[in-house]
A and B are shown apart, each in its own frame.
Chain A
Amino acid sequence: MAIFRNIGRFLLMLKGMFSKPENGKMYWKEFMHQCSEIGVGSLGIVAIISVFIGAVSTLQTAYQLLSPLIPKSTIAQIVRDTVILEFAPTLTCIVLAGVVGSKIASELGNMRVSEQIDALEIMGINTKSYLIMPKIIAGMLMIPLLVVIAMALGIWGGRFAGEMAGILSTETFDKGLHEAFVPYNVTFALAKSYTFAFIICSIPAFYGYYVQGGALEIGRASTKAVVVSCIMLLFADYLLSALLL
């Protein structure tokens, strides 16, 4: 029954976010702060992961394509499509669920335990609206941007690794990139990234906002938030693939 109770509380939390801001400027400031925290703060790890994922994709695809009948430019096509369809949105978002999700859960959990949320409530501020909504909106703006960057860097990583390992030249790779390109794949990846962004920001916010206890519970809530977010990401990934592809 706890799962239904949690779903109910989660929906009530989302409903509670929608109210007229007490001061638009302060909400905007908080939103910009969250954009910086989520977007700029995660750029480094996203860049590193994307480049390496792209590079490894090239090497492993080349390793598996043994037939001399298959043109080398096919490697670029496979790398492009796997990076766009799966690696950039899903893998990046799983990493972000750890980085951003744990940060959101522990930040809100700490605010709850140290009575900072109570202090805001007593001032007459809708804390769901002021603390959670900017995080979700910032996430839904910045995470798709990070995914687009991850796509570009992933493909670049694959291109660079292909040349460095002497598997295929950059010209061949670029030629492969232009072959049989389906623009819908990018649309699909962006649809996934918006869904994932919502999951990454809202689920940890829920676990952090309703934490009870002390430092130990904040740690537990943070871990639980990341685990549940990752499971929901994978479930959403499957569902979207089944529905949209």
Chain B
Amino acid sequence: MIEVRNIKKVFGDKVVINDVSATMQAGQCNLIIGSSGSGKTVLMKCMVGLFTPDQGEILYNGQDFINMPDQDKAEIRKQIGMLFQGSALFDSLTVEQNVMFPLDMFTKDSHARKLERVNEVLARVKLVDANKKFPSELSGGMKKRVALARAIVLNPKYLFCDEPNSGLDPQTSLVIDRLIQEITIEYNITTVINTHDMNSLMEIGNYILYMYQGNKEWEGSNKEIIFSKNQRLNDFIFASEFLRDAKEKRMEEERGGREA
């Protein structure tokens, strides 16, 4: 579980995150949504320790991440996997070497054991026969899957995904979403996802935090979001006619389900 308490982050004289609190449970996909510049990436970077907040606390299973000694911080970081927007694969390494990198760095297993684990996670993300390829030879979706495999190879307790669907077609986005959801449930990971993708929101959003201009505007689940009366949230999510119709239909389904 990750708890964010009263986080504030200022760049110069601009308040990018203002007093944001949230609790993200294990075994769930926790989504941070918001328009560009709303502070969701900064919040995620604060959570993983790439930025230091000016105020507030970030607790990993009750441990204060911000104020703990560097050595303890490094230990927590070993339990974190992160899928970056641009995949952040090491260009000079093959797929196999990329996924094996955390194992090489942090385990003393034999090469055969490490290779077995690499093949296991590559199969888990449905990527076979790509071991010897370089990142430049992969499609966007394949790169994301390799990055996901690298993020989970050390069995992390926490998985952070920064816009995992950006630049992907809807079908591949769905594959990535489902993979993340399956992995989250299977390994009981606390997964935090930054996204703009409305499909992801409806498909896997167990907990949703909506940010607006650095503030927490709304929180709830994908079941609750369609009944939300928050105007800013509704304007952001149901921006098109098509999505508004879809919302109406979904609301009717939900009401019908409740009455039955």
Contact = CB atoms under 8 A, between A and B. Distances in A.
- Interface of chain A, main secondary structure: helix
Interface stretch (B16-24, B101-109, B116-124, B235-243): B101-109
Interface stretch (A42-50, A64-72, A112-120, A221-229): A112-120
Contact of A122 (B80, B104, B105): B80
Nearest to B73: A124
Interface in A83-102: none
Contact of B50 (A26, A122, A123): A122
Sorting the interface of chain A by its residue count into under 10, 10 to 19, 20 to 34 or 35 or more gives 10 to 19
Interface stretch (B56-64, B82-90, B165-173): B82-90
Contacts of B106: 22-23, 123-124
Contacts of B85: 115
B82 to A, nearest CB: 5
Nearest to A115: B88
A1 B68 CA distance: 33
Given A123-B77, A124-B75, A115 B86 contact: yes
B78 interface: yes
A124 to B, nearest CB: 4
Interface string A115-158: 11011011111000000000000000000000000000000000
- Interface of chain B, main secondary structure: mixed
Contacts of A116: 88-91
Contacts of A124: 73-78, 80, 106
Contacts of A118: 50, 82, 84, 88
B105 A22 contact: yes
B94 to A, nearest CB: 15
Most buried by B among A114, A115, A118, A124: A124
B86 A114 contact: yes
Interface of B: 48-50, 73-78, 80, 82, 84-86, 88-91, 102, 104-106, 160
Given A110-B91, A121-B77, 15 more contacts: A22-B105, A22-B106, A23-B105, A115-B85, A115-B86, A118-B82, A121-B49, A122-B49, A122-B50, A122-B77, A123-B77, A123-B105, A124-B76, A124-B78, A125-B105
21 contacts: A22-B105, A25-B104, A114-B91, A115-B84, A115-B86, A115-B88, A116-B88, A116-B89, A116-B90, A118-B82, A119-B82, A119-B84, A121-B49, A121-B77, A122-B50, A122-B80, A123-B78, A123-B102, A124-B74, A124-B77, A124-B80
